[in-house]
Amino acid sequence: MSEPDTSPKVQTTIETGDEEPRDAPLNTKETIIETRDLDVYYGEEQALDDVSMEIYEHDVTALIGPSGCGKSTFLRCINRMNDLIDSCRVEGDVEFGGKNVYDDDVDPVALRRKIGIVFQKPNPFPKSVRENVGYGLKIQGYEGDVDERVEESLKSAALWDEVKDQLDSSGLDLSGGQQQRLCIARAIAPDPEVILMDEPTSALDPVAASKIEDLIDDLAEQYTVIIVTHNMQQAARISDRTAVFLTGGDLVEYDETQKIFENPEHQRVEDYITGKFG
């Protein structure tokens, strides 16, 4: 696997029409998450094999690879969502801000406020728009003004203008794309540092998906975004770095997105990207 290179920030455009490079040069970014020798098993089956990788603050990092190669497993290790799967066993380190998230003194619920997650299928609670965003804050005993935070979160999720007059209507009455942005607002509300996204646009129509892509670009100004996607054009359009996992839970290559898509080091990665398999 290659180390992140120190060349000046390059534009991450690959046949996408995206014309604006991100502001910060990649080589000035700090590590926010680091995995070391990460192995994950479900019972006897190994899903991730010795994955060591650094994720950088304010990057959009795309995880790509064929079905079953361990992308979602990797994502779920970062905020310990895998704790909820009985057969799952994690070995190795996952550091967030220099602290192993699997240490005994880490509270996974508090961790998930700092590292939020958005799933493939929008999953709002059967509650009002306002409660979808504010409910978690109330549970955690948020001391600020909940309504203000709800508004800020909905604005950050590019949903406020569409829902500001229906805050007390059910979140389930929104369109699929709006529901997904509502889930993003819910993840934003506790003021996370990282947002994990597991194929967040694959259940949406192209217009709704495109809105989420634009939003991800904006979110990276404030947060670090790690996204699993099956859509290679999407990875190319929206990410700064791309990690390619292949069969057996192997992280085969991880580099700046442009390098991965234009000049990968590994033949297997090139074959995957050019559609020869997967």
Ligand X SMILES: Nc1ncnc2c1ncn2[C@@H]1O[C@H](COP(=O)(O)OP(=O)(O)OP(=O)(O)O)[C@@H](O)[C@H]1O
DSSP state, residue 20: -
Which one, 6 or 67, has the nearer CB to ligand X? 67
Amino acid present at 115:
I
For 262, what's the count of Cα atoms within 13 Å in the CB-facing half-sphere? 11
Nearer CB in complex with ligand X: 48/150: 48
Contacts 24+ apart (CB under 8 A), 94-101: 94/33, 94/34, 94/35, 94/38, 95/33, 95/34, 95/35, 95/36, 96/32, 96/33, 96/194, 97/32, 97/193
CB of 153 to ligand X, least distance (A): 27
Measured torsion, CA atoms of residues 13, 18, 24, 26, in degrees rounded to the nearest 10:
-20
Q: Give the shortest CB-120-to-ligand X separation in angstroms.
A: 8
The least distance separating ligand X from the CB of residue 258, rounded to whole angstroms, comes to 23
Report whether 91 contacts 68 (CB < 8 A).
no
Q: Contact 173/96 with Cβ under 8 angstroms?
A: no
- Asked if residue 225 lies in contact with residue 61, where contact means CB atoms within 8 angstroms, the answer is yes
Q: How far is the CB of 249 from ligand X (least distance, A)?
A: 7
Smallest gap, in angstroms, from Cβ of residue 46 to ligand X? 8
CB nearer to ligand X: give 129 or 228: 228
Give whichever of 96 and 245 is closer to ligand X, judged by the CB atom: 245
Nearer to ligand X, 64 or 189 (CB): 64
The binding site for ligand X (CB under 6 A) comprises: 42, 47, 65, 67-73, 85, 87
